[in-house]
Chains A and B, each alone.
Chain A
Amino acid sequence: MEMLKTLRHGVIGGVTATLLATAAHAETVRWGAPRDIVSLDPYSYGDSYTINFLNHVYEGLVRYNRDLEIEPALATSWELVSPTTWRFTLREGVKFHDGADFTAEDVLASLLRVSDEASPLKGNLPAYKSATVVDDYTIDVELNGAYPLLLNDLTNIHIFDKGWLVANNAEKPTDVSAGVEGYATFNTNGTGPFMLESRTPEAQTILTVNEAWWDEPSHNLTRIEFQPISSAATRVAALLSGEVDFVDSAPVQDLPRLEQADNLEILERADLRTVMLGFNRRDELVAGGTNPMNDLKVRQAMQMAVDMELIRDKVMRGKSRNAGTLVAPSIPGYSAELDQPVAYDPEKAKALLVEAGYPDGFEFDFVCTNESYVNEEQFCQAIASMWSRVGLSPKLDIGPTAKQTPKRANGKADVYTLGWATLPMLDTYSILVQVLHSKDGNSGVFNWGDWSYPELDKLTQSAAVELDRDTRLQMETDALKIARDEVIMMPLHQQPMAWAVSKEFSDFPQFPDNKPRMWYVTK
């Protein structure tokens, strides 16, 4: 209240008075986000941005610590009782925001909910078979095979309160097709460090601190004001004028300007996300005619024709890290040996095209989105222009993700962009099974070009059940080598990740997975 008074005085004091925004509560984060979360229900939509935001409200059995290592959260310990059964001991004394006690029944209800037929997040817990409550604070999780990455998966499986789900008829995930809103879509009840105060979609979502959190808070925040500002220029303007004090996606071209501002600090590092290009590998191109990209020489030529160093220097402002392999260095399964970017050689590219029988190039669709990756619209144009200089004729098609994804997923794209961070698993296995594996059941869901390399598939399947870490990682590296030799996908770069933070924060850790975790922030 006192705050409010001073604030009024300040503004009435004159038009030139600095914005009211600058006088906000000391322990508030005003977060200018590039996009809104899609729902308050973490199981309603397989969207990692949403899931991470909701991680402030909901928690999993385990979580990543400041060094991105897995540590106990709602579970205090775990053990393998058989190769396919994990026993979790749960934390006692944890309360949900509405005061209900946290027990094994809640975990069971949450696992049932996330693994439901209709759940879009089913794929995030692929190995799950069933769970049995042993007692109030012990639960057994049975898997459909030996699976080394269960804990990684569980970091993103948020735990709901069973009583709350039942009372609000929300035990099943929201079924959009049923034509009814799910209660959990706009109400929350988690155990996390923050509680929902209010939400207006696409405008503002406000969280306040959970005083009764079970853990010793290492943050001192009382309030998070999350505001999506989709226009990059407006986001920067808001930062510069002090209306927001944290932006998790500062445009790279504006970093020099933001660095000059007295009140801002820029946090930068290479993202875990590797951006790459995929090739259509069906018999025919989208527009018809034989598909030249089934020829390895053509794919190699396309790779050599692109000057990634120039793109890094000009389009990415020197902030990206060019990649030779499909995963970032810190991802298990990465091999430095494979990570040698292919050198730019337009002459050789032309020669290879001649050799492959396409001296005059060929026409193909190049599908990009305009907002998925950092400066995507720009680097796609730059790549298209480099390709046309070796005689190829790319037809660039840029549009919002919602319009481009159906094209890519249904094989209506000859060349397309894809970024993969291996989240939430943080292991090479993620890209192998989801992107590189042949399309088959739950494997190869993002194999949009529809290729098939039996040897790579075999390595992937063996890695899935290999419990010895080193052997498993070797298999994964071998699979990545096939991907590189065959140019299954063309790695571009690890994109830069830049956060702009007000200097009022004394501690604001940045994570390589580009997820802001406010429970580590002090102001």
Chain B
Amino acid sequence: MLAFIIKRLSNAVFVMISVTFLAFVIFSAVGDPVDQMLNEQATQQQRDDLREKLGLDKPFLMQFGTFVVRAAQGDFGISFRNQRDVLDMISERFPATFELVLVATFISLVVGVPMGVITAIKRKSWYAEAMQFTSIIGISLPSFVVGIGLILVFSVWLGWFPSFGRGDTVDLGWWTTGLLTRSGQMSIVLPALSLSLFQVTLVMRLVRAEMLEVLRSDFIKFARARGVPARSIHFRHALRNCLMPVVTMTAMQIGGLIAFALVTETVFQWPGMGLLFIQAVTFVDVPIMAAYLCIVALIFVVLNTIVDMAYAVIDPRLRGADK
């Protein structure tokens, strides 16, 4: 068990170092930050001084070393454009993205699980078929098209929900939340819906697949033979058995959702990390791009590692099976 944990952890560290390296390569590839930091009138002397100050005259590997050490301490430098500490800027935006992802995940579970159950136990019915078909559309529709459509219908035509932004937020000191105010709650509906669409489909398919598997298993057949009512079979036994994979997948998908939220955030002008990142891409604000990449990867890796370890605790067979 210990060996497994160590292996998983070292794996995670390796991944993070590689991602940091990637971020660093992007950092140095996009060009000389000196050009962006100084104004046009700067002299060659000023340029050289700045290069020295930034350590750009050092060998590549040494620069990378410095970058890793700093990144590990959360120091990603200063945004070229906003002149603010990059980590501060990202952590200011994190709550917005996280709440969006959280609500989207919630929606996907509340909608996806029942749909999965229904399509599994009523396989042949017309509505199950219809749901199946809808689910294909769910994973096929580009989320920006969905977002534009939602804005058009629910904000402009019907006027039910705001079309952009996060509404009023409450500052809890270490976290700003939009979930406690009315306008915040209204604001999150459309973006969360649009973000959850893909996820709903995923959950529904997973639940359906697991349900079908379980329903075919011997213990369900046995229960049926004993005359346990269908309702109890479906919900008490079968559904309970497929919750574990659903929880796992949901946890693992959160990292992906955080990254994918950048599309939703762009469409709805949601003030999260993704919007910050897209704006940084437009303005070639490399420190933000690099930091965002590292932070999203970190979330991804941490979640995956935790899920893997949790699995190993629950199901010891997996400990040896990992490669």
Contact = CB atoms under 8 A, between A and B. Distances in A.
Check A-B contact in the complex, CB < 8 A: yes
Contact of A234 (B41, B167, B269): B269
A240 B157 CA distance: 9
A80 interface: no
A21 B162 contact: yes
A231 B279 contact: no
B112 interface: no
Interface stretch (B73-81, B256-264, B289-297, B307-315): B73-81
B276 interface: yes
Interface stretch (B100-108, B120-128, B148-156, B204-212): B148-156
Contacts of B269: 228-231, 234
Contact of B78 (A41, A181, A200, A228): A181
B81 A38 contact: yes
Given A240-B156, A445-B41, A202 B162 contact: no
Contacts, number: 128
A186 B155 CA distance: 33
B159 A19 contact: yes
A22 to B, nearest CB: 9
A176 B268 contact: no
Interface string B77-101: 1101111110001001100100000
B78 A176 contact: yes
A148 B310 CA distance: 75
A359 interface: no
B311 to A, nearest CB: 38
A46 B151 contact: no
Given A38-B81, A240-B156, A402-B284, A203 B271 contact: yes
Given A203-B165, A234-B267, A177 B50 contact: yes
Given A234-B269, A400-B282, A406 B35 contact: yes
Interface string B162-198: 1111110000000000000011001000000000000
Given A201-B82, A203-B271, A16 B151 contact: no
Interface residues of A, number: 53
A80 B276 CA distance: 49
A445 B156 contact: no
A243 interface: yes
A237 B77 contact: no
B162 A203 contact: no
A15 B160 contact: yes
A403 B284 contact: yes
Given A20-B183, A234-B151, A400-B282, A203 B80 contact: no
A177 B83 CA distance: 9
B238 to A, nearest CB: 36
A44 interface: yes
Interface in A172-203: 174, 176-182, 185-186, 200-203
A344 to B, nearest CB: 35
B279 to A, nearest CB: 6
Nearest to A201: B82
A227 interface: yes
Given A123-B41, A177-B50, A243-B164, A20 B82 contact: no
Contacts of B37: 176-177
A176 B151 CA distance: 39
B190 to A, nearest CB: 11
A403 B148 CA distance: 27
Given A200-B271, A203-B166, A231-B266, A39 B182 contact: no
B226 interface: no
- Majority SS at the chain A contact face: loop
Contacts of A290: none
Given A19-B159, A181-B85, A442 B275 contact: no
B276 A237 contact: no
B82 A21 contact: no
Interface in B28-45: 34-35, 37-41
B283 interface: yes
A19 B165 contact: no
Given A20-B182, A21-B162, A445-B40, A202 B279 contact: yes
Contacts of A181: 78, 83-85
Contact of A241 (B35, B162, B284): B162
Contacts of A179: 53-54, 77-78
Given A234-B269, A243-B164, A38 B186 contact: no
A442 B164 contact: no
A14 to B, nearest CB: 10
B83 A185 contact: yes
Contacts of A39: 82-83
B282 A402 contact: yes
Contacts of A204: 165, 271
Q: Which 9 A-B pairs have the closest CB atoms?
A: A203-B271, A237-B163, A402-B283, A400-B282, A20-B183, A177-B50, A241-B155, A120-B39, A402-B284
25 contacts: A16-B160, A20-B182, A39-B82, A39-B83, A41-B83, A45-B83, A176-B80, A179-B54, A181-B84, A185-B83, A186-B84, A200-B271, A202-B271, A203-B93, A203-B165, A204-B271, A228-B269, A229-B165, A230-B269, A231-B267, A233-B148, A240-B156, A241-B159, A243-B164, A402-B284
Interface of B: 34-35, 37-41, 50, 53-54, 77-78, 80-85, 89, 92-93, 96, 148, 151-152, 155-156, 158-167, 182-183, 186, 266-269, 271, 275-276, 279, 282-284
Interface of A: 7-8, 11, 15-16, 18-21, 38-39, 41, 44-46, 120, 122-123, 174, 176-182, 185-186, 200-204, 227-231, 233-234, 237-238, 240-243, 400, 402-403, 406, 409, 442, 445
Given A19-B162, A179-B78, A185-B83, 20 more contacts: A11-B186, A16-B158, A21-B183, A38-B83, A39-B82, A45-B83, A123-B41, A177-B34, A179-B54, A201-B84, A201-B92, A201-B276, A227-B164, A228-B269, A229-B269, A234-B269, A237-B151, A237-B156, A241-B162, A402-B282
